[in-house]
Amino acid sequence: MNEEFMERARPLPQNTVSPEFEELLDRLSAIHRPEVDDVSRSLLSTLTRSQASRGGAEPGGEYGASSSSNVTALSSRRRGRALLWLGGVDPDVVRHLPMLRLRYQAIGTAVLVSGLISGASLWYSLTYLLNLRPVIGVTVGIILALFDVALTRLLLVAEANQRSFGMRLLHALPRVLIAFAIAFGVSTPLLMQVFAAEVDSALNQSRAARIAAFSATQQRDPKLIQLETSILETQKAISSNIDCAFRQFGNSSPNSVDPKCDTKPGASTGEAGFATTQKALLDFTQQISDMRIQHQAELARYTAQVNRPPGLLERIDALTSFRTNSSTARNIFFALLCVIALLESLPVIIGLLSPRTAYDLLLYAEERVATLRGEAEIAARTKISERLLRPDSDSIDIQSIDTVVRSAVDSSVQAVRSEIRSEIVDFAAERERRRAA
């Protein structure tokens, strides 16, 4: 199984040098004897051919250079590479893994769909709920879609570099929270459109309740209550004066029937008190009438203010009230919220729950090869520099330099192969455990 995996994997480059190392070999060949020049050029030619064959000979598979002029096939390959890039992988690496290529293309499609949902939701909210210009809504929606795609891809790549499930979960948590926020923003306008009649009814009920509450507040005005209390007390005083007058003078008393008795000298003071109290009653009644007229004007102004065209927050409050009182609306809102949030966070969830794949193993191998090759090159360049600067040496044995370089490269390759072999064994054992479970 180890040999089969190594054969299917992309051949790992073994002899790659940096431009600085090539320049050093050029300088070496320019300052020494002709026989040394031949060996130096041979070494440089061998390394250069290895690098050119690795960099220029691209496979002619699905994602390689195609000699066909079929525009449709070329467009399909470009779309496939774009989806792989959105899925958080390198198209040049994953082309050697057909099964994983389809999987990462599906993940890239999910990333693209989540970005489109985010952009469309913001465009709809800005255009139809806030009544902004369509150009502004489209522009801001595209910006949000690009941000969503970039963030999702970043989290996918970050998750792939973490072997601990806890760290992957920590990287996925921000995207899940953003997904629920976007889902709430999408579900709210959708429910407003689906339950438009019910929302309008809840809005009218809310407005009627607010007007009734304002009217009740006016009825509880302390000044109005004080005037009403004063009228009741005045009416009681008038009734008391009348009863007292009848008891004192009787029904035949001339003072009781003479309308001017309260102005005659020696007239009963009860008649004068009756006139004063009656005047106070008229004053209180007029004040209450003026206050009620003022309250009616205030109520009319408040009613006009309440019945103005509803705003976004008012409609959201009406939708919340309707959703609170209706179990059907609550269930629909919860279902929409979960579905949209799942679509938004699906790529990150897949990356969170996915085990290590052969693609991760290839990336690990390439990183280790690059690291160890760099260390070997630095060691070789150091040895060459030491030989060049040695004062007691008139010539340089290029064959020994070649031996040093090849020895360093071979040791690096052997170390990497050993690490890859152990990783393959762990990978195969983990896959067998999953199959057995």
Identify the weakest region by mean pLDDT among 30-39, 209-218, 309-318. 30-39
Highest mean pLDDT among 190-199, 228-237, 277-286: 190-199
Nearest 5°: the CA angle 63, 56, 5 is 60
* Band of pLDDT at residue 415, cut at 50, 70 and 90: low
The band of 409, judged by pLDDT with boundaries at 50, 70 and 90, is low
Lowest mean pLDDT among 149-163, 195-209, 274-288: 274-288
| Residue with tokens 């989806």, as numbered in its chain | 83
pLDDT of residue 219: 77
Res. 85: pLDDT tops 80: yes
Q: Which of 164, 177, 417, 193 is nearest to 319 (CA)?
A: 193
Structure token digits, residue 129:
């709920």
Q: Whose CA is closest to 271, among 279, 260, 285?
A: 260
pLDDT 10s digits, 282-295? 776 777 777 778 87
Residue 387 is predicted with a pLDDT of 60
Between CA 167 and CA 418 the distance in angstroms is 28
pLDDT tops 80 at residue 135: yes
Amino acid in the structure at residue 218 = Q
* Residues ≥6 apart with Cβ < 8 Å to 196: none
pLDDT of the residue at 169: 82
pLDDT band at 142 (very low <50, low <70, confident <90, very high): very high
Q: What percent of the chain has pLDDT over 90?
A: 1
Residue 61 binned pLDDT confidence (cut-offs 50, 70, 90): very low
Handedness of CA 352, 355, 359, 365 (dihedral sign): positive
The full DSSP string for 66-127 is -----HHHHHHHHHHHHHHHHTTS-HHHHTT-HHHHHHHHHHHHHHHHHHHHHHHHHHHIII
- pLDDT value at 265 more than 70: no
- What band does 405 get if pLDDT is binned at 50, 70 and 90? low
Residues 20-30 pLDDT 10s: 445 544 544 44
Across the range 81-96, mean pLDDT stands at 80
- Entry pTM: 0.52
pLDDT at 308: 81
| Residue 42 in this model has a pLDDT that exceeds 60 | no
Angstrom distances, CA of residue 385 to CA of 28, 380, 401, 411? 10, 9, 10, 21
> What confidence score (pLDDT) does residue 37 get?
41
Token pair of 415, please? 């170390």
User: Are the C-beta atoms of residues 368 and 419 closer than 8 Å to each other?
Assistant: yes
Q: Which of 76-90, 132-146, 225-239 has the highest mean pLDDT?
A: 132-146
Estimate to the nearest angstrom the gap between the alpha carbon of 204 and the chain centroid: 34
- Are 105 and 84 in contact, with CB atoms under 8 Å apart? yes
For 365-398, the pLDDT digits (tens) are: 677 767 777 776 776 666 666 665 555 555 555 5
The mean per-residue pLDDT over the stretch 228-252 comes to: 61
Residue with more model confidence, 428 or 84 = 84
Give the pLDDT score at 207. 84
Model pLDDT, residue 383: 65
Confidence of residue 17 (pLDDT cuts 50, 70, 90): very low
| pLDDT-based confidence at residue 134 (cuts at 50, 70, 90) | confident
**Which phi and psi angles does 336 have, rounded to 5°?**
-60, -40
Q: For the chain, what is the total number of helices (H) and then of strands (E)?
A: 16, 0
